[in-house]
Structure 1
Amino acid sequence: MLTYLDFEKAVAELDGKIEELRRLAAADPAVPIKDDVSRLEAKSAQLVRDLYAKLTPWQKTLVARHPARPHFYDYVHTLIEDFTPLAGDRSFAEDNAIIGGAGH
């Protein structure tokens, strides 16, 4: 299941229509919708290109904070064995934006 941001609602609607057409084609293979699906996929791809070419600063922030984006630990667990995080400054609290540690 894809997660769409607020400004991507038009893309979400198009993708929903594409999935609906694919379900119809799977249910009844005699229905010729291959051209319709291809046309809608091209339209969706163009809409995404247009949207992302004109992002506002806040929309760029939303994309950077997207819940489906990989996080630091996604990379650490793949690239580094025996990672030991270094934590806190012992004066205030843990800052989740700054992560460091040792591993090999």
Structure 2
Amino acid sequence: MVNRVLGILVMSAVATTASAGDSLNQYILERAASCWTTPTAMRGISFSADVHVSFTREGHVSAIEVVDVEPQTETFKGLANDFAEALKRCSPYVTEGMNEMNLTLSWPL
């Protein structure tokens, strides 16, 4: 079994509406990162993923769609899907009334 470590992530996010601040996006991404373990072998690589997330009124994740991943390989698509699962695991979030968001994850370790 591959040893797993908590990923240290540098992330940025853009909300689907102008009313959401960067701090809300950063909060959601950082909280999801705390639930995301990444394989040790992935240290030192870079990738990005755009994820569309829908939330319930209570802040639980109701749907996630990985929209884009760079580079376009199965390995990075798998990492993006792992991150999407971490978003689910760490919910509920305080979404300040937002029910949908586009998050952009950038990962250089």
Instruction: Tell me if TM exceeds 0.5.
Output: no
Relative contact order (C-alpha < 8 Å, sep 6+): which is higher? 2
Q: Which structure has greater strand proportion?
A: 2
Q: Normalised by the size of structure 1, how large is the TM-score?
A: 0.32
Q: Normalised by the size of structure 2, how large is the TM-score?
A: 0.31
The structure number with the bigger radius of gyration is: 1
Q: Which structure has greater helix proportion?
A: 1
